[in-house]
């Protein structure tokens, strides 16, 4: 007999192994390695979370009770995979092009980014999934108890509820660890996917092993097995067509609507083409899963004692035969099925709950001000983690309250039926442009109510929640309202009855309301985007228009949500594509839409839309949208949208041309001013020198003190002249590329020390400098004197121009794609946006402050950085003036890697 | 002689030099060193002669000169403009704005004395 201890040990080892696999896969993915992580086989295996513990254990029980009917559960998804392949492809394409994070997000996105709809779908999903999670916990505790019962060394049965609690705790921990590592816009969890793919292999292997043992070990061969099946009560079973069709349709619908299936099929999808492989491989997997179900059921019924739970045949058959190893394998298989379902369901639901419930509430509570001031990213992560814990806890509570009794057994199909209510809104959204938000809400609402009344509440049994009187005579004595004979449809199977009425009424109400109500402009646009996704995928859907000044606000907001590094990369990438230098792109509709999708990966479509509209303003309804409302035909709407896009394109080109022209004019004026500036800068000290030397020459009776003073002035002014000439020559040499670099190696911290003390020899108001000296332990190999010259310039600029009452300069380091970035950010009022383009030009002094420089400092810095292969840029959207010195990988190496 | 001269200039060393030269010649020298409120300084001091630099912080010398000329009490006050930029167009602008005389830096001390004396008819 297998000892309980061995089982617990194997189980813990298996869990540790899963953690290691998930961790390794995450690491490999983050380092850009492991293309096998993105293979179609992994994708197909991840789809197998469809096969939960309910199918692993329950299919045999199902077969033992009602024969071949269990096949319907596999038949539905197979039909969808093979026959509706193009529908899935459309769903995946929409999901990817719109950066969809969950099924609630998809439906809300399609119907005008409506958060009401998202909240509704989320609630429905939580209600429909919680019993299912409870079912998984039950299966693990039940199988564990089976083991315990067969182990004579175990003194007493372990408490089922504490087992369930430990399992729930472990699952929540795993999901939080690997499901919320980052708030990635594309929402992929390589570690989790890898772990569930592995579990898929384990559970298939376990079931096949038990099957092989039963057929060849117990029955003694294929023909003997067939004979045993013929002799079993399973052979007597006769099918009812309506239930067969009903169940197949139900499982097909559930396959597309289950939040966890949506998560692995659409959200975690790496490549649309993976569906091609999955279209044959996944049905193959299901076939293998169902291959030995009947033999196991038949032999279980015959060999096990009367009254044995058929749901546990997979486990009890090997146990009874003394095959402990096989039994443990079988337990691990069931364990895998249960855990993978809970993990993915918790991720999918937590995304929905945090994006559509917690975040909007938080935004509303903080009045939207937090969009630019708070750390949205941490709030979103925290919300997601809490949601995961909450959802698993909910499953556990449901398990406790239902007592793990038989009521749970029917829950699988009840859950399926509840979640299948998404189908009309989902399919209508993908294929029918006239489908609208009101219709979707009404259809979902009616379908949900019917499901609740006809299936969910009765599933607890007569008199449990609904009194027996309601079953017999209908609600409030209305005969046509009997929950299992709605509108007098008597004599039907209760499940088929409920599915038929809920889906029928759901679809009818959805279609009818969509036809009689009018969609909002945003819905029309999203409708076109979804229904014609294959034409639109790269096309420009409009909806936003903004102005350059807002780009900076958008950047500030984006940094809070997706992190500074990613936001800066996104913005500078967009700017580059538009042919602009720096970090601020034109807020074109294309860019705003890209940004919105990027943000929606973190906070959901509806929230992202609301955040951007807070900054860009109520630009959601453009002229084109109004045209669309005025005109009923889709063609004219699209035609006008193209015209609009063209006009906007022209306006944009014109704006860019004007900007270029403005810059040229500015530069020309500057060139013109250059001579006049040099003249001024040279003549001013010369004036003093000449005047005082004439005074010294022509005035006889000067006091010695006066004499000394005037000579000092002459001396200082000649030094000023020399410095100016040095700067000019320096710049000229740098500009002509004649400079010879004196390459040395030194520690960044020491260089900054040098620069700070050189820039500090001044009696101006003290500038506080904040540094992280540990970070600065980086060795640099370049012309160090030149680099220090750049640092001195930037630091003394902060000293001169930072206008804060208590000036503070923060020097911080970042690494990105190998480059080292040194940011100098002060707390003053910064440099106005319209001056950003000229600060690195010669003689450009910002504002009217008379500073002692000639305005050549930053121009020299720019040239120096270009010579040593780096860059200096102005970083907009920070707390004050911010300069970023970028050093390429070749220059900066970690301290320990540096030559001694 | 007790003529009052107002020197509007922002370079401390040049202020010192010009003040020294003119005081020794018997002028009563007042100084002012920014553009913002130069006009107020002129109104308060009521000088016999103004020496005005072109490049001042806050406001350009040309603009200040225009304001001086626009004030009915000050239309006749002689103004000597100083510039360090020495370009033709600066001279034109100074004339247009109503400067009485115009000098380019650096200048000789003797020349400055001669010019300011001639401007007040000495």
A850 falls in which pLDDT band (50, 70, 90)? very low
User: Which of A9-23, A482-496, A705-719, A867-881 has the highest mean predicted lDDT (pLDDT)?
Assistant: A705-719
Neighbours of A730 (CB within 10 A): 18
> What domain count does chain B have?
1
- Domain A4-31+51-407 matching CATH 1.10.10.10: the answer reads no
Q: Which residues of A touch B103 (CB under 8 A)?
A: none
Q: Give yes or no for residue A489 having a pLDDT over 70.
A: no
What is residue A55's predicted lDDT score, i.e. its pLDDT? 78
Predicted local confidence at residue A650, as pLDDT: 78
For residues A562 and A377, the answer to whether their CB atoms sit within 8 Å is yes
Residue A298 has pLDDT above 80, yes or no: yes
**Residue B29 forms beta bridges with which residues?**
B5
Structure token pair of residue A431: 């294929």
* Closest C-alpha among A744, A877, A749 to residue A820: A749
Minimal Cα distance from A683: which residue of B?
Answer: B84
Mean pLDDT, chain A, rounded, equals: 78
What's chain A's Rg over C-alpha atoms? 36
C-alpha dist (Å) from residue A742 to A757, A791, A793, A868: 22, 17, 19, 10
Å between B87 CA and nearest CA of chain A: 7
Enter the tokens of residue A434: 């006239």
Q: Is A687 on the interface with B (CB under 8 A)?
A: yes
Cβ distance of A688 and B10 shorter than 8 Å: no
Task: Return phi, psi of residue A342, to 5°.
Answer: -65, -40
A34: pLDDT strictly greater than 70: no
Residues whose CB is less than 8 angstroms from the CB of residue B80 and which lie 6 or more positions away in sequence, other chains included: B49, B50, B51, B52, B99, B100, B101, B102, B103, B115, B116, B119
Coil vs helix vs strand at A823:
strand
- The pLDDT-based confidence of A538 (bands split at 50, 70, 90) is very low
User: Which of A680, A692, A850 has the CB atom closest to B17's CB atom?
Assistant: A692
CATH architecture of A743-897: 2-Layer Sandwich (3.30)
Q: What is the pLDDT of residue A541?
A: 38
pLDDT for A688 equals 92
- Give the range of the structural domain holding residue B112, as residue numbers without chain letter: 4-119
Write out chain A residues lying below 8 Å of B104, CB-based. Answer: 683
Q: Which residues of A, range 289-318, sit inside 8 Å of B by Cβ?
A: none
Instruction: State the fold for domain A654-735.
Output: Helix Hairpins (1.10.287)
Neighboring chain B residues of A717 at a CB cutoff of 8 Å: 13
How many Cα neighbours within 13 Å face the side chain of A304? 22
Residues A460, A463, A469, A474, Cα dihedral to 10°: -20
In tens, the pLDDT along A718-765 reads 988 888 888 888 888 887 777 788 888 889 999 998 888 887 755 455
CA atoms of A430 and A440, how far apart (whole Å): 12
Inform me whether the C-beta atom of residue A692 falls under 8 Å from chain B C-beta atoms. yes
pLDDT band at B80 (very low <50, low <70, confident <90, very high): very high
CA of residue A446 relative to chain centroid, distance: 32
Over residues A418-468, the pLDDT tens digits come to 888 999 998 888 888 888 888 999 999 999 988 888 888 777 666 666 677
Kindly give, in sequence order, each residue whose CB lies less than 8 Å from that of residue A245, ignoring residues fewer than 6 positions away: none
- How far is CA A390 from its chain centroid? 20
Percent of chain A as helix, strand, coil, to the nearest 5? 70, 5, 25
- A600-619 pLDDT, tens per residue? 766 666 667 766 765 665 44
Unique residue bearing structure tokens 């540790």: A16
Q: Answer yes or no: do B84 and A679 touch at CB < 8 A.
A: yes
Instruction: Note the pLDDT tens digit of each residue in B13-45.
Output: 999 999 999 999 999 999 998 888 888 999 998
Of all helices (H) and strands (E), which one includes residue A743? strand A743-747
**A659-682: average pLDDT:** 76
| Close Cβ partners of A576 (under 8 Å, ≥ 6 residues apart) | none
Judged by a CB distance cut-off of 8 A, whether residue A829 touches chain B is no
Alpha carbon separation from A779 to A751, A789, A815 (Å, rounded): 10, 17, 14
Is residue A539's pLDDT more than 60?
Answer: no
CATH at B57: 3.40.50.2300
Give the residue ranges of DSSP H helices in B7-119: 12-24, 38-45, 61-70, 88-97, 109-119
Residue A627 has pLDDT above 50, yes or no: no
Mutation to test the B interface, candidates A680, A681, A686, A691, most B Cβ within 10 Å: A691
């Amino acid at each position: 007999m297998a000892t309980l201890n061995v089982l617990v040990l194997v189980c813990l080892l298996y869990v540790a192994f899963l953690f290691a696999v998930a961790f390794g896969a995450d690491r490999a993915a983050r380092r850009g390695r492991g293309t096998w992580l993105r293979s179609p086989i992994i994708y197909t295996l991840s789809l197998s979370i469809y096969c939960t513990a309910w199918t692993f254990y329950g299919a045999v029980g199902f077969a033992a009770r009602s024969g071949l009917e269990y096949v319907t559960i596999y038949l539905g998804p197979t039909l969808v995979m093979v026959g509706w392949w193009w529908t899935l492809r459309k769903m995946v394409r929409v999901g990817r092009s719109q950066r969809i994070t969950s099924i609630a997000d998809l439906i809300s996105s399609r119907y005008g980014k409506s958060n009401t709809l998202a909240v509704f779908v989320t609630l429905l999903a939580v209600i429909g999934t919680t019993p299912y999670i409870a079912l998984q916990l039950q299966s693990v505790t039940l199988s564990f108890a089976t083991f315990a019962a067969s182990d004579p060394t175990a003194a007493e049965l372990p408490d089922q509820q504490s087992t369930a609690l430990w399992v729930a705790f472990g699952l929540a921990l795993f999901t939080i660890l690997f499901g919320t590592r980052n708030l990635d816009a594309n929402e992929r969890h390589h570690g989790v996917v890898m772990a569930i793919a592995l579990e898929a292999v384990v559970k298939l292997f376990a079931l096949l092993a038990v099957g092989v043992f039963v057929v060849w070990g117990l029955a003694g061969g294929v023909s003997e097995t067939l004979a045993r099946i013929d002799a079993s009560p399973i052979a007597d079973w006769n099918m009812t067509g309506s239930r067969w069709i009903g169940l197949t349709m139900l499982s097909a619908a559930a396959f597309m609507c289950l939040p966890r299936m949506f998560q692995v099929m659409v959200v975690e999808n790496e490549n649309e083409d993976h569906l091609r492989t999955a279209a044959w491989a996944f049905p193959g997997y299901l076939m293998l899963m169902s291959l030995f179900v009947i033999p196991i059921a038949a032999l279980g019924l015959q060999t096990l004692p009367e009254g044995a739970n058929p749901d546990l045949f997979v486990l009890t058959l090997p146990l009874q035969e003394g095959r402990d190893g096989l039994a443990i394998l079988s337990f691990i298989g069931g364990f895998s099925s249960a855990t993978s379902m809970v993990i993915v369901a918790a991720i999918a639901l937590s995304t929905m709950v945090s994006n559509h419930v917690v975040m909007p509430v938080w935004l509303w509570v903080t009045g939207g001000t937090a969009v630019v001031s708070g750390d949205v990213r941490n709030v979103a992560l925290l919300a997601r983690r809490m949601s995961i814990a909450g959802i698993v806890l909910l499953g556990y509570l449901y398990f406790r309250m239902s007592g793990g009794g038989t009521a749970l057994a029917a829950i699988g199909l009840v859950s399926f039926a509840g979640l299948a209510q998404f189908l009309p809104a989902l399919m209508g959204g993908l294929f029918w442009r006239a489908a609208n938000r009101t219709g979707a809400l009404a259809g979902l609402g009616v379908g949900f109510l019917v499901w609740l009344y006809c299936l969910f509440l009765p599933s607890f049994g007569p008199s449990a929640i609904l009194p027996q009187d309601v079953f017999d005579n209908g609600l409030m004595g209305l005969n046509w309202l009997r929950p299992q004979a709605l509108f007098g449809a008597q004599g039907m199977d209760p499940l088929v009855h409920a599915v038929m009425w809920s889906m029928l009424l759901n679809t009818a109400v959805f279609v009818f309301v969509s036809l009689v109500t009018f969609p909002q402009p945003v819905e029309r646009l999203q409708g076109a985007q979804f229904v014609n996704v294959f034409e639109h995928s790269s096309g420009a859907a409009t909806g936003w228009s903004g102005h350059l000044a807002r780009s900076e606000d958008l950047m500030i907001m984006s940094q809070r949500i997706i992190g500074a590094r990613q936001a800066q990369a996104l913005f500078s990438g967009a700017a580059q594509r538009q042919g602009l230098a720096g970090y601020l792109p034109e807020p074109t509709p294309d860019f705003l839409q890209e940004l919105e999708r990027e943000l929606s990966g973190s906070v959901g479509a509806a929230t992202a839309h609301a955040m951007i509209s807070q900054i860009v303003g109520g630009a959601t309804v453009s002229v084109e949208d109004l045209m669309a409302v005025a005109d009923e035909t889709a063609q004219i709407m699209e035609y006008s949208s193209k015209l609009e896009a063209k006009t906007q394109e022209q306006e944009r080109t014109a704006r860019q041309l004007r900007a270029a022209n403005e810059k040229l004019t500015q530069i020309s004026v500057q060139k013109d001013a250059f001579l006049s500036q040099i003249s001024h800068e040279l003549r001013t000290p010369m004036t003093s020198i000449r005047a005082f030397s004439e005074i010294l020459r022509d005035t006889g009776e000067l006091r010695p003190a006066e004499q000394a003073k005037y000579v000092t002035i002459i001396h200082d002014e000649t030094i000023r002249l020399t410095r100016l000439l040095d700067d000019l020559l320096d710049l000229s040499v740098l500009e002509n590329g004649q400079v010879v670099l004196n390459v040395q190696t030194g520690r960044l911290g020491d260089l900054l020390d040098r620069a700070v003390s050189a820039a500090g020899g001044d009696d101006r108001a003290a500038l506080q400098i904040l540094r992280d000296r540990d970070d600065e332990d980086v060795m640099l190999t370049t012309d160090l004197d030149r680099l220090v010259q750049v640092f001195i310039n930037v630091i003394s600029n902060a000293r001169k121009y930072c206008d804060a009452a208590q000036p503070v300069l923060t020097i911080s380091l970042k690494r990105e794609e190998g480059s080292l970035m040194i940011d100098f950010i002060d707390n003053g009022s910064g440099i106005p946006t319209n001056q950003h383009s000229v600060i690195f030009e010669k003689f450009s002094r910002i504002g009217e402050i008379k500073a002692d420089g000639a305005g050549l400092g930053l121009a020299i810095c720019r040239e120096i950085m270009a010579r040593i292969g780096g860059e200096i840029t102005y970083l907009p959207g920070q707390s004050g003036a911010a300069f970023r010195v970028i050093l390429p990988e070749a220059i900066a190496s970690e301290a320990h890697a540096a030559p001694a | 002689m007790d003529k009052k001269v107002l020197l509007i200039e922002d370079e401390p060393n040049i202020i010192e030099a010009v003040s020294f030269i003119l005081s020794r010649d018997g002028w009563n020298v007042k100084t002012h060193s920014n553009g913002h409120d130069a006009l107020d300084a002129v109104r308060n001091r009521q000088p016999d002669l103004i020496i005005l630099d072109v490049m001042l912080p806050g406001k350009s010398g040309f603009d200040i000169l225009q304001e001086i000329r626009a004030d009915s009490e000050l239309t006749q006050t002689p103004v000597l403009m100083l510039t360090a930029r020495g370009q033709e167009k600066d001279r034109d602008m100074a004339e247009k704005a109503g400067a009485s005389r115009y000098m380019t830096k650096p200048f000789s001390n003797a020349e400055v004395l001669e010019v300011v004396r001639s401007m007040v008819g000495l």
